[in-house]
Chain A
Amino acid sequence: MTSIIKLHAISGAMDESPPCYILQVDDFRILLDCGWDENFDQDFMKELRRYIHQIDAVLLSYPDPLHLGALPYLVGKCGLNCSIYATIPVYKMGQMFMYDLYQSRHNMEEFELFTLDDVDAAFDKIIQLKYNQSVPMKGKGYGLTVTPLPAGHMIGGTIWKIVKVGEEDIVYAVDFNHKKERHLNGSELERLQRPSLVITDAFNATYKQTRRRARDEKLMTNILQTLRSNGNVLITVDTAGRVLELAHMLDQLWRNKDSGLLAYSLALLNNVSYNVVEFAKSQIEWMSDKLMRTFEGARNNPFQFKHLQLCHSIAELSRVPSPKVVLASTPDMECGFSRELFLQWSSNPHNSIIITNRTSPGTLARQLIENGGNVPLNLEIRRRVRLEGAELEEYQRKERENKEKSQEKNEDLDMSDESEDEMDSLSSVAKGKHDLLVKAETKVQTGFFKSNKKQYPMFPFFEEKVKFDEYGEIIRPEDYKMVDSNPEAEDNKENVDLKEEEITAADITEVPTKCISVTKTVRVMAQVQYIDFEGRSDGESLQKILEQLHPRRLILVRGTPDSTHAMLNHCRQWNGVRVFAPSRGEVVDATTETYIYQVRLTDALVSALELKKGKEAELAWLDAQIVVRDMSKDAKPVTMDVDDIDKEEEEKGKMEIDQIYTLEPLPLNQVVGHQTAFINELKLSDFRQVLNKNSIPSEFSGGVLWCCNGTIALRRHEAGRVILEGCLSEDYYRVRELLYDQYAIV
């Protein structure tokens, strides 16, 4: 009956590499996340490829590349072919992340690890779920159910619960955030009671956060100071995850009239910003209670930004008046607009660069966090540029030759023109085959309906309908007022400025281009600051949550060796917990012997039970014996899921018992006495309140609860042992009775 449980840490163990694990439950292998680091580590991929065909299901936790970055490659290039599970926002936003990542890379180099088609193919495989929706696995995984639970951190962020009915409940929770944020609820991990196995990261084990208010103030002052000194602020954020929190917060700040920010501009710059915001608007039900309530109450969508302007290219951004605050992807500054802006702005001491996320070691953002600004940096600058002059001619000549050749070929045999096709497809990738790429905002509708303004054939002419009442024409006071306000108040800045011409930069691939690379030493003069907007639980809370969760087994993954060891040592103090901390590539065997079988309870047995109330459950002592009962004697068995499973498992021969036995009460004379069990753990402080309620005076002194003027003492020794001490008196028995009431005694 025992399930084999193994965890293979392919990446993300004892270091800060992205999480990617294979969890094996019996014969069923689940890939938990498949992140890829910023520089697309090939070693890790080599390792993973070896197991690719064994994987039966993939569970994704968050939409960022750290958690699903390798998915397009795995599906497109390695032939991963199995069900992939993710929540709806992870699906939608994940796609945005990958589009943006691809485009950012494509804008600076020949990026061939995966194509946009691979992204689409990978995401088409995703089965979209809601929180708390249980999904039964099929085939080898029969009897397993996976359930996504809210995790905070990013929209749709998931803690996965993998349950083998009655035997194992495995919780995979990484990077979660227990704290409520502006746009997200916190995780409720601690509500899961005693899972048999928890897999969690130790990334933040030794990390302390500043308080939210202090952090927000720091950001605010930084922004204000920079803007006032006429500098620009670059905030590096991700594409569609944490950016929502920042964008929402900043837009709210801008709305505050006293903030003094109205004079400055605020922009969101990434390749898919329009879509990200659109999706965010339609995912209110995944956000915090507070946002939901304001939406239900006032119907204003929190992601209908008033001040944040959406940009899709540097050219668009340049039209946003400076000084400005720009939220740009990617957070690591290895590619994308954040890197371009960094190169542009870092030399000016008035500018400010705010990093919001600790990305992998070695990335530009991480270097800046660790070394601070004002250090010369050797940077490789890669760009995609148009072909010009001789090169262009050369290219065109080749192109012509190719064409001629292919025509010749076509004349010869109408078959293989694959090589050209490949080239063509490469250059046409960004042409608009994928509708989610840069969108030209030709005409932006502000209201929900067609605006009432008509198209006039020649010139605008309004025919006033003259209205009369008994006194003649109705006087409209507005006619005599000074004209000051513009009637269309709903217009948002979001839509301003983007109307006119097509953005040239977007179509860069339509003209022949090449990628160039130069190495340059950059001296960062701008102010560099790291302000934590990661949205992860801090080390102390992590420990508290785990202690509350009290798993039977615990696997610690992802985190520097230091923090992992710190966590490991802490967790080993708890009793009854087996803790593992695998290193990269290691396989942890977390199998434990579990015994379980099912019995039917007779009515006589159930009705004779003396149930005592315990914490959240009722308890009773039971002496009974197993008998065989004819199934048909029982009334129609209610179709329970468990039964169904049992039946099917019977057929499969998986169950070792071929029938369910019945439990009958033991005749009284055969009952052997048993040791009485006191169930519950008493807290002296709680008990003191009980005493107070019964008007028995009590006080604490040196860890001892003294009752009735010091005649009776209550001590609590090691876990679960309470000593009641006192003189013989009536009070003694009263206190004892109250004490007994605190326990379920069976």
Chain B
Amino acid sequence: MSARKKPDSQVPAEESDLLLIRPLGAGQEVGRSCIMLEFKGKKIMLDCGIHPGLSGMDALPFVDLIEADEIDLLLISHFHLDHCGALPWFLQKTSFKGRCFMTHATKAIYRWLLSDYIKVSNIATEQMLYTEADLESSMDKIETINFHEEKDVFGIKFWAYNAGHVLGAAMFMIEIAGVKILYTGDFSRQEDRHLMAAEIPNVHPDVLITESTYGTHIHEKREERESRFTALVHDIVNRGGRCLIPVFALGRAQELLLILDEYWSQHPELHDIPIYYASSLAKKCMAVYQTYVNAMNDKIRRQIAINNPFVFRHISNLKGIDHFEDIGPCVVMASPGMMQSGLSRELFESWCTDSKNGVIIAGYCVEGTLAKTILSEPEEITTMSGQKLPLKMSVDYISFSAHTDYQQTSEFIRILKPPHVVLVHGEQNEMSRLKAALQREYEDDPSTKMELHNPRNTVAVELYFRGEKTAKVMGTLAMEKPRPGHKLSGILVKRNFNYHMLAACDLSKYTDMTMSQVVQRQSVHYSGALPVLRLLLSQVSGNVEMLEEKKMRVFQSVDITLDNKIVMLEWIATPVNDMYADAVLAAVMQAEILDTTPSFFPIQSKMDRMHFKECLIEMLQEMFGEDSVPKIFKGEKLYVTVDGKKANIDLLNLEVCCEEDEAFQQIVQTAVTKLYQSLAPPRTD
């Protein structure tokens, strides 16, 4: 039945309008991206990375502040360590039991990248976050999503857009109860050799969570950058030098390979000069690059019909330094990108003393690494063994890092016009500069109201969305056109924040649910006689319908059959009928314990209409005075006059009507009804 509770003072999380965005990592810093979204009782984690500068548990985002088992959904934007590095740990070592999604390419590379990370950090730290086995078993818990494919998990709708940046990088649009949140991850709006520019969603998000790595910087044009790069490489090899390009194994390296391969094929004179690419990881992942061409730009997709651009003609793989013959000019791409150790460091140390050689730094460098040091062009450098070497080789910096710059971010925001922008993944100063610049941009624009936030780690941004709820009225209920004052009653079906209102009979037509009926038959021993039972039943319910000789119906819903000392009650279950049945049962038992059979049975009490009329006149006289009612009247109509106001009473259907005074009518009406009820036998309908 439709008894209603008072609205709770404590609003349940599901109905709350509060959207929380809390960075557990990457808040005013670069690295360990991990952002929590909470809205309508749903919890979503965006990325789960580690801090490349820290190790062990210190590198994790602040996940101790949340309950892992409450998280419904975990989305990984791309395969870089600072976005997925902590994932195996989070999936295997916490109580997380939600679902985890990433794109196909990301998943395929993630496996190998992290495996490489484990191998490298094995030496560095004892307190490993996870092992190869953990990584392997985490693969089963990761589900894949294609770009533009819409998924619905526990009422959270989400889909991915291409983000540029690296192969498989995705921006996620998340929709909960009509509120849309766009998380860009790392993105780039500049199309390059193999990746497309980040797409611009065709729906407007309410909240934009965007990266701010490059703050207010503006990148050099792609063509200029590329020609500067190729010219530099050409120059170095032309002067008989060796060209070293330290790169991170995956991501931007593939772009450089494409550039070099194309440049070499256009310059036959360079064919004698070998290009080496020294990375076992990259070799492993080339199959992934050759496979997921559908995640790349149109150019590559068209080219695949003719030949695979990732089958390089001028680039050879170098298994290790042992296989390398250092006999003349060459180009070597080697990891790691910041020359902390490894092959790129070794090559650098053996080449840095010759001024013919050159090194090209092609990516983002962290403070304290050799790559960052040599950018300040020191006289000497210190080798791994502590020896000092003069730095004679040329040092150049050309950034191929595919992060959005101020120009791109600003344009992106201008198109999307989100009411709220949350900045993450950026160093504190860069971030506040970007915030200030964006604020200035919209300062004088009254038509755009934009709130910018740059939360620190663990500090939540609180946004309120007055989620408006709408329901669709369907089927027979909707047959009548809606108009004000029209009353609707039916079943409201709520599914994933969608409401539908249906008539009960339409339920099975529009949903997969069906109406059921429960019939109850209860038997109880009764040794008495039928008339006794009937008497008592009439006392409880007033009206006893005799259906057959030994079958009666009371309350118009409960059938009672007496058969061979057993009374059987049968009714269709509803809360009310159950109550009636209980009353009937009580009556049956009462009849059972009656020792003596009552000697007389009062005849079925009948409403004495004449008596009622007399009583009514008497009562009205008592209430309104002797003269208010006519002494004699005929038929079933009566009127009562007080202060010149006349109220007509219809004795058959007990209706009172008085046009002049509503209050008077109400009083008379109540009196008449009460009197009738006290005189008439109990009604059951």
Interface residues of A (CB under 8 A from B): 88, 129-134, 147, 166, 193-194, 275, 278-279, 281-285, 292-293, 295-297, 299-301, 435-436, 445, 447-452, 465, 550, 552, 576, 594-601, 604, 606-611, 614-628, 634-642, 656-657, 660-661, 663, 665-666, 668, 670-682, 719-728, 732, 736, 739-740, 743-746
Pair B472/A728 contact, Cβ less than 8 Å: no
List 26 A-B residue pairs with CB atoms under 8 Å apart, sorted by A's residue number: A133-B150, A282-B290, A285-B104, A292-B144, A293-B139, A299-B112, A300-B287, A576-B508, A595-B477, A599-B473, A610-B5, A618-B495, A619-B491, A620-B491, A621-B492, A638-B468, A640-B470, A641-B203, A671-B489, A676-B576, A679-B513, A680-B514, A681-B514, A722-B519, A728-B585, A743-B518
Cβ distance A66 to chain B, nearest Cβ, rounded Å? 24
Pair A679/B492 contact, Cβ less than 8 Å: no
A611 closest partner in B (C-beta): B494
B452-489 near A? 1/0 per residue, CB < 8 Å: 00000000000001111111111111110111111111
B549 — which chain A residues lie within 8 A by C-beta? none
With A617-B513, A638-B467 already in contact, the answer to whether A675 and B284 are too (CB < 8 A) is: no
B518 — which chain A residues lie within 8 A by C-beta? 678, 721-724, 739-740, 743
A301 — which chain B residues lie within 8 A by C-beta? 287, 290-291
A275 closest partner in B (C-beta): B305
B306 — which chain A residues lie within 8 A by C-beta? 435
Pair B524/A676 contact, Cβ less than 8 Å: no
Q: A619-B513, A722-B519 are in contact. List 4 more A-B contacts (CB 8 A).
A: A132-B150, A445-B311, A576-B509, A723-B521
Binds A, one of B7-15, B26-34, B404-412: B7-15
Pair A724/B491 contact, Cβ less than 8 Å: no
Which of the residues B285, B316, B483, B573 comes within 8 Å of A626, measured between beta carbons?
B483
Pair A617/B293 contact, Cβ less than 8 Å: no
With A451-B316, A677-B504 already in contact, the answer to whether A599 and B513 are too (CB < 8 A) is: no
Pair A448/B523 contact, Cβ less than 8 Å: no
Pair A616/B495 contact, Cβ less than 8 Å: yes
B576 — which chain A residues lie within 8 A by C-beta? 676
Pair B524/A728 contact, Cβ less than 8 Å: yes
B149 — which chain A residues lie within 8 A by C-beta? 130-133
Pair B310/A448 contact, Cβ less than 8 Å: yes
Pair B474/A728 contact, Cβ less than 8 Å: no
Pair B515/A679 contact, Cβ less than 8 Å: yes
B145 closest partner in A (C-beta): A132
B317 closest partner in A (C-beta): A449
Pair B485/A626 contact, Cβ less than 8 Å: yes
B150 — which chain A residues lie within 8 A by C-beta? 132-134, 147
A656 closest partner in B (C-beta): B481
Cβ distance A450 to chain B, nearest Cβ, rounded Å? 5
B397 at interface, CB cutoff 8 A: no
A628 — which chain B residues lie within 8 A by C-beta? 484
A293 — which chain B residues lie within 8 A by C-beta? 139
Pair A617/B288 contact, Cβ less than 8 Å: no
Pair B470/A600 contact, Cβ less than 8 Å: yes
B315-328 near A? 1/0 per residue, CB < 8 Å: 11100000001000
Which of the residues B104, B471, B476 comes within 8 Å of A284, measured between beta carbons?
B104
Pair A285/B294 contact, Cβ less than 8 Å: yes
B2 at interface, CB cutoff 8 A: yes
Pair B574/A595 contact, Cβ less than 8 Å: no
B495 — which chain A residues lie within 8 A by C-beta? 616-618
> B468, B474, B501: which has the most chain A beta carbons within 10 Å?
B468
Please give me the 3 A-B residue pairs with the lowest Cβ-Cβ distance, nearest first.
Answer: A595-B478, A635-B466, A676-B574
With A194-B510, A619-B494 already in contact, the answer to whether A595 and B479 are too (CB < 8 A) is: yes
A597 — which chain B residues lie within 8 A by C-beta? 472-473, 478, 481-482
With A166-B472, A576-B509 already in contact, the answer to whether A452 and B316 are too (CB < 8 A) is: yes
Cβ distance A193 to chain B, nearest Cβ, rounded Å? 5
B445 at interface, CB cutoff 8 A: no
Which of the residues B466, B490, B511, B515 comes within 8 Å of A634, measured between beta carbons?
B466
- Tally inter-chain residue pairs, CB-CB below 8 A: 328
Pair B206/A639 contact, Cβ less than 8 Å: yes
With A449-B312, A618-B494 already in contact, the answer to whether A638 and B465 are too (CB < 8 A) is: yes
Pair B524/A727 contact, Cβ less than 8 Å: yes
B107 — which chain A residues lie within 8 A by C-beta? 296
B2 — which chain A residues lie within 8 A by C-beta? 621, 623, 671, 673-674
Cβ distance A158 to chain B, nearest Cβ, rounded Å? 13
B481 — which chain A residues lie within 8 A by C-beta? 597, 656-657
Pair B487/A666 contact, Cβ less than 8 Å: yes
B4 — which chain A residues lie within 8 A by C-beta? 608, 610, 665, 668
B311 — which chain A residues lie within 8 A by C-beta? 445, 448
Query: CA separation between A456 and B291, bound complex, in Å?
Result: 33
Query: CA separation between A134 and B522, bound complex, in Å?
Result: 54
B275 closest partner in A (C-beta): A450
Pair A606/B469 contact, Cβ less than 8 Å: yes
Pair A732/B522 contact, Cβ less than 8 Å: yes
Cβ distance A127 to chain B, nearest Cβ, rounded Å? 12
B178 at interface, CB cutoff 8 A: yes
With A618-B493, A620-B494 already in contact, the answer to whether A448 and B511 are too (CB < 8 A) is: no
A609 — which chain B residues lie within 8 A by C-beta? 492, 494
A194 — which chain B residues lie within 8 A by C-beta? 510-512
B524 — which chain A residues lie within 8 A by C-beta? 727-728
B34-66 near A? 1/0 per residue, CB < 8 Å: 000000000000000000000000000000000
Pair A619/B493 contact, Cβ less than 8 Å: yes
B263 at interface, CB cutoff 8 A: no
Pair B1/A673 contact, Cβ less than 8 Å: yes
Query: CA separation between A636 and B501, bound complex, in Å?
Result: 24
A618 — which chain B residues lie within 8 A by C-beta? 493-495
A284 closest partner in B (C-beta): B291
Pair B470/A601 contact, Cβ less than 8 Å: yes
B556 at interface, CB cutoff 8 A: no
Query: CA separation between A617 and B11, bound complex, in Å?
Result: 20
Pair B511/A720 contact, Cβ less than 8 Å: no
Query: CA separation between A725 and B518, bound complex, in Å?
Result: 10
B196-226 near A? 1/0 per residue, CB < 8 Å: 0000000110100000000000000000000
B108 at interface, CB cutoff 8 A: yes
Query: CA separation between A726 and B521, bound complex, in Å?
Result: 6
Which of the residues A292, A599, A666, A727 comes within 8 Å of B104, measured between beta carbons?
A292
Which of the residues A601, A627, A677, A725 comes within 8 Å of B471, measured between beta carbons?
A601
A299 — which chain B residues lie within 8 A by C-beta? 108, 112, 284-285, 287-288
Cβ distance A501 to chain B, nearest Cβ, rounded Å? 21
Query: CA separation between A483 and B159, bound complex, in Å?
Result: 56
Which of the residues B11, B292, B487, B585 comes within 8 Å of A624, measured between beta carbons?
B487
B235-271 near A? 1/0 per residue, CB < 8 Å: 0000000000000000000000000000000000000
